[in-house]
Amino acid sequence: MANYDVIVVGAGNGGLCAATTCAKAGYSVLLLEKHNLPGGCATSFVRGRFEFEPSLHELCDESTNERMRSMNQIYADLGVKETFLREEMLYRVIAKGPNGYDHRIKATKEGFIESMEEAAPGCRQQMETLFELNYLFDAAQIYMDDCGGVSGMNPVTLLTKYGDFIRAAGNSIDKLLDALGMSEKAKSLTNTYWGYLGDPPRDLNAMHFISLLAAYVEGRPSMPYDRSHGMSLAILKVFQECGGEIWYNSPVTEFLYDDSGAAIGVVANGEAIYSKKIISNIIPNNVMNLSNSKFVKKAMRKLANARTLGMSIQTVYLGLDCSMEELGVDDYSVFVMGDPDANVQYDRRKDMGLYIVNCLNKTIPDASPDGTCMLFFTIPSFDGDFPADLKPQDYKKYKNALAEKYIRDYEELLGIDIRSHIEEISVATPVTFARYLSTPNGSIYGYMSQGWDNVVNRVVFKDLENKVKNMKFCGGHSLRGDGYPSAFITGEQMANETIAELKEGK
């Protein structure tokens, strides 16, 4: 009675990877997407002679251990061809205030440690330790994988051999860096990427953050040549070659279950479509809202209600009618901080916390026509930050004021003139992401991964918490938190688990 072996709901990064992995294994797959484009946030948009990258800042696509899955490996295994251009520099970071600074930090382990030591003398050994810790985290995760999950592990081995994994996985990055005796400045520089995970360092899981930092540093950040839209179309090409079907403009309006509560299909375009398995790239909150309440498991409902929604962003996209040299910009990523202390950046974010400015032309020189360049401002926006009482008639003014505030700040900071060069401007807010992604309050990071909802706990509790037979979840809201690689890796993992169940006839 099933029309397909697998229905994947949502063609974001996680859904694209899950669908392609299943199709590559020979199963019939239907990928349903509510929008008219694939990718979710992984897309692009055109204004005049510019094609903007809406959400991606940089990919950390190489793992520091060959046993660990990475985007590169997933792409290679699926046969996806895409051109990525690498960055030399990790970032330029400008901190304001009395203890402010301005440093450029290099990519690669050697480069990173060298620039960190130069910026904050005396931190070399502490930086080395961070990388050593990351190797141990990889080894611990491989050990857990080899044990077949939590139940197969020997707790004594875990505690004696991988004790530092347990230490880092249960504590914040603040606590870990303090324990290493790191200076305030070295801590500030190390924490630069906190916004990529969206939790202030006092709450940020140390294991998660160190893994992310090491992946960026050692893999060297990169960008897809033809924007994230190119990435999405590249993987879709493989999906379709394997017989996969994608339907756009086809939102799922209901999830279907049998009497036992097992998922059996969905309704899209007014028709019921049945499958043996479902992989949802859409957030569990939305799945539950689209399910008959009698089939919604109490534990999942309570978990969703207990969680904190993840970060969204406010962004300003600028197409400028001058080259980056004429503008006076020479960095791909610039992190601007209202204060060197990342916790203060979080606390004072409504005034001026952290914002990031990217110039894609530094990494991809022909990203826009000769004599032009693009700037992309990102300002983190946490659940509740966006003014809840904003009226539709004030929205345009709000967007303009936001853009002007950050453009002026950056102009003053760098002593450059941006405003007289603006040929195209587009501003996105959580409202924009809510419109295109239909996530609660426009969250792009799923749930905050802090405290008890850290990524290690998500993995440990996975099978206890998702009791819906035949349905799995992948994407930023899933096991590994936000980010392109996380979405790809959970997509692949859920596909592999689905394939294993199909093979066993479960």
Interface positions, 195-254, toward other proteins (CB under 8 A):
206, 226-227, 229-230, 232-234, 236-237, 245, 247-251
* Cα 341 to Cα 297: distance, rounded to the nearest angstrom: 42
Q: Which of 76, 142, 272, 306 binds other proteins (CB under 8 A)?
A: 306
Residue 251 half-sphere exposure, CB side, CA atoms within 13 Å? 10
Asked if 303 interacts with other proteins (CB under 8 A), we say: yes
Q: Which string of DSSP letters, residue by residue, matches 179-199? A: HTT--HHHHHHHGGGHHHHTS
* E-strand stretches of 22-140: 29-32, 45-47, 50-52, 84-86, 89-95, 101-106
Min dist. Cβ of residue 260 to other proteins (A)? 21
Asked if 506 interacts with other proteins (CB under 8 A), we say: no
Which pair of tokens denotes residue 369?
């026509």
Spatial CB neighbours of 208, under 8 Å, sequence gap ≥ 6: 197, 449, 454, 455, 456, 481
Q: Which of 161, 202, 297, 469 binds other proteins (CB under 8 A)?
A: 161
Residue 160, helix vs strand vs coil:
helix
Residue type for position 361: N
Q: Which stretch binds other proteins (CB under 8 A): 57-65, 190-198, 288-296, 470-478?
A: 288-296
Which pair of tokens denotes residue 392?
């539709």
Rg over CA atoms, the chain: 22
Q: Which of 117, 461, 496, 501 binds other proteins (CB under 8 A)?
A: 461
Which pair of tokens denotes residue 215?
């992946």
Asked if 365 interacts with other proteins (CB under 8 A), we say: no
Contact 222, 84 (CB under 8 A): yes
Q: Which stretch binds other proteins (CB under 8 A): 16-24, 90-98, 166-174, 337-345?
A: 166-174
Q: Which stretch binds other proteins (CB under 8 A): 60-68, 113-121, 289-297, 342-350?
A: 289-297
Applying CB under 8 A, what is the total number of residues that bind other proteins? 98
Residues 29 to 68 in contact with other proteins, rule: CB under 8 A = 36-37, 44-49, 51
Residues 380 to 439 in contact with other proteins, rule: CB under 8 A = 386, 388-390, 392-393, 395-396, 400, 403-404, 407, 419, 421-425, 430-432, 434-435, 438
For other proteins, the closer CB: 344 or 425: 425
Asked if 304 interacts with other proteins (CB under 8 A), we say: yes
Q: Which stretch binds other proteins (CB under 8 A): 16-24, 71-79, 130-138, 327-335?
A: 130-138
Asked if 133 interacts with other proteins (CB under 8 A), we say: yes
For other proteins, the closer CB: 60 or 140: 140
Min dist. Cβ of residue 206 to other proteins (A)? 8
Residue 317, helix vs strand vs coil:
strand
DSSP 108: S
> How far does CA 14 lie from the centroid of its chain?
11
Which pair of tokens denotes residue 467?
């009791």
Q: Partners of 39 in the beta sheet?
A: 12
